[in-house]
A and B are shown apart, each in its own frame.
Chain A
Amino acid sequence: MGETVGKLIGLNDEVIIPTASLAMEAHNSPSKPFLMKKIKIRHDHLSVVVLAFRGSMLPNDWFGQPPFGERKFRSLTSLNDGGDAVINGSFFQRFNTVLDQSSLVKEVKKAIAKEKQVIFSGYSSAGPIAILATLYFLENPEPNQILPPRCLTFGSPLFGDRIFGHALRREGWSDYFTHFVMKYDIIPRIMLSPSSTEHEQILNYFKSKFDGKNINPALPSGFYLTVMGNASSVASYEACHLMGCRNPSLDIIKSFIELSPYRPSGTYVFCTGNGNLVVVKNPNAVLQILIHCAELGESDTAEVEKRSLDEHSAYLSELKECLGIQAVVSLNGGPATATWNDLGLSPKAMLCLQSAEEFENGRSRNQDQIRKNKGKIEVELGKMRKYKENSEIRRVGYYDSFKLQNEDDDFHANVSRLELAGIWDEIEEMLKEFEVPDDFERKKEFIDIGTEYRRLVEPLDIANFYRHSKDKETGAYMIISKARPDRYLFIQRWLEHHEKKPFGSLSESCFWGEVEQLCIDIKKRGYLQQIEERIQQVERNLIAWIGDRSLDDDVLLENSTFVKWWRHLPPQHKSESDRIEKLIGERESCWSINQIRTGIIWHCDRTVT
């Protein structure tokens, strides 16, 4: 209580009404793809530019294209194997048209250059266009941008799936998107039901209403039960997950029914209809409220059905009323808050909300647990580093030493390897099930420790793999096959995402895998052209990775598997002989100097030409 909507969503209250009114206006302006307006704010030097997009009520502009996995935006993907985000194809196509054929980018750049904050907005079907425009400028920020672009939608249909929301939250962008939704408005719920004749009925109704040709078109009827019934399936399925359903039939039943892939993302502001606004950020809670607050109560179906259509056009008046009295609730106080009654939620709905909140708590608890385990990981990594140093004193790389398994140290390293594999496999499973906070994979602390683990320990997994000739059972270790444990693949993606590198490019920890596989393949098949290319790739990778220190120089030890193999290659198949010999030589002299100076191996500065 006492907080205003603006504060909760991080914008000045004064921008909301003008933005909403521009959005309504733009939706019906047939001549322009978007409208632009400057908003002056009292007591604030920063000025705001609002861009609002045109909408369309043609069913084809909503459902013409099937939902599909998106690749245009590199952020819209999961870093574990959840795949790309699924978004609505029709809205995406409309956005691309606006982007390619209008002055949008130019105008936005101009506004940013004048140090203005940009708000993209859209009413109804223009909402998704505003979302995509915001996303476009979040991914391609202007160099002198002071504030990130913002997105406000009013009565927008849902646009992306669970991965879409996950990706927004992972990138920390979720708070930049705010969606206003009326208690009964059918449009924000429509995507939770598969495309059908009911949808066409609804859109045709709005189309004739907005066209102005027919101010009071005939009301469609009977759609409410179908749309809300399907939406209710989605809500119940998600609720089963939130509640930790232990009935194994759930998965079987799910495989027999088709549920809409769409899920809410960003911050939702629900207009209760009695002057209050409820701000909700938990995406699972948003979904439950979307369905449960529009349930039928005492009033009859026809009445609610009519209201679900009327409310879609009522945003401006409703917001004017609400913002006037500034009574706002935020979902941080838990579901027991009395003001929940404003949304008219049933006890069952309250249980769903409670489970949504508990689910979030559970994710934080899992992250805390992983943080606690970091200590354990550090201890094991410390042992590994010591093992590596000790091996080098014996002038054997730890890779080769581990492969031989002759010393006590090798055994202890194996136990550490297994210990670490257990900890990381557990983390990996939690990620797959989305059981940690969405931004986990972007946290520097986890990327760092993960990368260290990957670079230090994956060579030992490879040594173990080829020691037991497992390639005969599963095929080569490298990325394409299933042999490489997912834990390494995931951790590698975190870093690639962090450094904005293409997936698969930072595979330095697999260096030994490719060397071993080449040994085997050459023995089997000789020097085919394809093998020659692979040899040269290994050489290039070695030089690059030794150069940026992502690969440790113990591969260059005189009697390492790599050096022995590489030196035996016929010269005509090599292309970087001089540079690699030089690196090996440097490694040797470096070793001897240090040997004389300190008696132990230490990392030395080495310039790579």
Chain B
Amino acid sequence: MSQAPLFSSAGELANLVVTSNLIDVAWANIPEIQRGPAAIPCSVQPMVYLPTRNRTIVVFASSTNFTQYPLPEVGDLVQSSLFQFLCPKECPSVSINGAALVLFKSLESQLYGLKTKLSEREGQLIITGHSLGGSVAALFTLYLLDSMDKKRKCRPICITFGSPLIGDFDLQHSQWNSFFLHVVSNKDPVPGLFLPSSRSPPTSSHSQTSVYKPFGTYLLCSEHGCACFDDPDLILKILTVASSEVSGEVQVVDYGEILRNLKNSAICKERWQVGFADPFSDGIVMELKTIGIDPAKHNIDISGMEKAARSLTKKTKASEAKKLNDRKKTMAQLEWYKKKAEDEKKGYYDCFRNEDQTRHVKVQELMAELTTYWEDMVAEAERKPQKEGTSFRTGWLFAGTTYRRIVEPLDIADFYKDGGRDYINSKRSQHYKLLEQWYKEAPKPPTREDLDSKKKKVSVLLTEDSCFWAHVEEAILSCQSLTNANSTTPEQRESSWDNLVMFGEYVMKQIENCAVSPEIFLSGSSFMTWWGEYKAYIDNFRNFFSSRLVEYMKRGSYNQYG
């Protein structure tokens, strides 16, 4: 089947923004403040407007004076712990433009109060600002997003006009990206100010400036029209081209005038003549030319963009649901494997560990499929800002926990079968660790199951600690080190004994909490093997030793478990 043609909707999205009154509303109060007495040189003040009951507008205005000279010497990036929450776990730090950060910090206590007040408002929240005021508006929006919970009453959007780039962080994998709209004219030098090829005078740490990253959607405009893009690399390129072509004199760009012109030209026929060979490339060439970029001259890789757009299969709810459903099918198969093993009076752990592997090729395929899926899910959650990652994963954490409890024992079996030692510290995969950590952090339902009802259901429970079998394997190794007195030192034997005592306590706690599956007591299980060896050792060498587990096992109480 031939591929369905792609389209570029950059022009249509821009047209929607320009013809709607959203952007006028965002701009409306800025000129007035900049002219008015409230304008304090070299600072930014937030002003709150409540035009209707369910709309709040916060304007970060700066004096015109300040707009004209946005302090190029503070184009440096400064590491900021205040915005540390922006970085996903895998990246160590976040740097923010120095000027914007200084302004933000000077307002911090005021903004804290504003944040609290805004969190009680319902409806639409528009946060806006011009030039460096826009930078502060964006920082404030991020600050606000981090403190909002998922069921927030008000929806924010941040609209900046001619603002310079803010920092080195990347929101491409975050939903937060969609809350930002940056309006930039190709006549405005400010947005490209901190870019390396910009004609602005070199700053003290010029090499550093190249790590600025755009985020959100850019509404790029020229006298011919406008287009919306959200690909950071493309935006960087366009900003660089635009700032290198801005005429020598720095002039104040009147965004009000630009918006009026764009509105008028929105219902005019545009002048570009294009062919219709390929709707995507024709469309995007037209859109780029509209905003004053010649793709051929500026070396913009259109076919690369098309490839990227095509590979970026839109994540639909349908496809996500289908994927999770497919994993459920795989899990059902593994659960059945587990049940069959129990029917044969063997635990699935030992079936998998001790029997001929050719029987288990299918199981290994299932494991591999699940592991790939969950590693991806965990990685995706890790790429988001911390707060957002948390809410993203609550949706599937339950399924992830079941996965961990069923599949990790099989990984452990593989590891010890091949003679491995110390699984938990030397081999355990990161995604298991995170899944476990998140499960522990996740809020539990208020009505916790009482132990009695849990006892009744224990036969269908999964062992809660997915590393249980690793502890068992270590205990077996400890037993062996005790019995093979010839090949071990007294110190080693001492520490082995300590381990075994600790293991006994651990197991007893699991049993009392009904946290282990009764399958561990099946006669052929590794746990029972361990018990046999352990009992023999105690009987021979430590006749007087006893512990709660030893008594429990000797009495045969486990027959009543489950």
Contact = CB atoms under 8 A, between A and B. Distances in A.
A544 interface: no
Nearest to A237: B16
Interface of B: 4-9, 11-13, 15-17, 19-22, 124, 126, 155, 157, 175, 177-181, 216-217, 228, 230, 263-264, 266-270, 272-274, 276, 279, 282-283, 286, 309, 312, 314, 316-318, 321-322, 325-326, 328-329, 332-333, 336, 339, 445
A246 B282 contact: no
Contacts of A130: none
Contact of B332 (A248, A362, A415, A426): A415
A232 B13 contact: no
25 contacts: A230-B19, A232-B266, A232-B267, A233-B15, A233-B20, A236-B12, A236-B16, A239-B12, A243-B9, A243-B12, A249-B180, A249-B228, A250-B16, A253-B20, A257-B21, A295-B269, A347-B270, A347-B276, A347-B286, A355-B279, A414-B332, A415-B332, A419-B329, A422-B325, A425-B321
Interface in A361-388: 361-362, 365
Nearest to B320: A429
A604 interface: no
Given A253-B17, A344-B269, A248 B175 contact: yes
Nearest to B7: A243
Given A249-B216, A336-B276, A351 B282 contact: yes
A433 B316 CA distance: 10
Contacts of B20: 233, 253, 256-257, 259
A245 B15 CA distance: 13
A506 interface: no
A415 B333 contact: yes
A425 B268 contact: no
A51 B32 CA distance: 58
Contacts of B270: 346-348
A425 to B, nearest CB: 5
A345 to B, nearest CB: 8
The 8 closest A-B pairs by CB, nearest first: A429-B318, A243-B7, A248-B178, A257-B20, A245-B9, A243-B9, A236-B16, A236-B15
Contacts of A148: none
Contacts of A414: 332, 336
Interface residues of A, number: 61
A426 B322 CA distance: 7
Interface of A: 225, 228-230, 232-233, 236-237, 239-240, 242-253, 255-257, 259, 291-292, 295-297, 335-336, 344, 346-352, 354-355, 358, 361-362, 365, 405, 411, 414-415, 418-419, 421-422, 425-426, 429-430, 433, 473
A465 to B, nearest CB: 14
For A349, A352, A430, the residue with the greatest tally of chain B CB atoms inside 10 Å of its CB is A352
A348 B272 CA distance: 9
A247 B229 CA distance: 8
Contacts of B7: 242-244, 351, 354-355, 358
Contacts of B178: 247-249, 251-252
Contacts of A228: 267
Contacts of B325: 418, 421-422, 425
A247 to B, nearest CB: 5
B372 to A, nearest CB: 18
For A257, A405, A414, the residue with the greatest tally of chain B CB atoms inside 10 Å of its CB is A257
B121 to A, nearest CB: 15
Nearest to B11: A348
B266 A229 contact: yes
A257 B22 CA distance: 6
A244 B9 contact: yes
Nearest to B263: A229
B13 A358 contact: no
A355 B280 CA distance: 10
Contacts of B274: 347
For A256, A358, A411, A425, the residue with the greatest tally of chain B CB atoms inside 10 Å of its CB is A256
Given A243-B9, A247-B13, A415-B332, A295 B268 contact: yes
Contact of A250 (B13, B126, B336): B13
Given A246-B312, A346-B269, A229 B321 contact: no
Given A250-B16, A257-B20, 8 more contacts: A228-B267, A232-B266, A247-B178, A248-B178, A296-B268, A344-B269, A346-B269, A425-B325
Contacts of A245: 9, 12-13
A251 B230 CA distance: 14
A483 to B, nearest CB: 15
Nearest to B175: A248
A89 B336 CA distance: 58
Contacts of A240: 9, 12-13, 16
A361 B9 contact: no
Given A225-B264, A336-B276, A249 B286 contact: no
A243 B8 contact: yes
For A239, A243, A354, A419, the residue with the greatest tally of chain B CB atoms inside 10 Å of its CB is A243
Contacts of A362: 4
Contacts of B333: 415
B231 to A, nearest CB: 10
Nearest to A411: B336
Nearest to A304: B267
Contacts of A415: 329, 332-333
A354 B329 contact: no
A256 B279 contact: no
Contacts of B15: 232-233, 236
Nearest to A293: B269
A248 B157 contact: no
Given A296-B267, A347-B286, A418-B328, A247 B217 contact: yes
A467 to B, nearest CB: 9
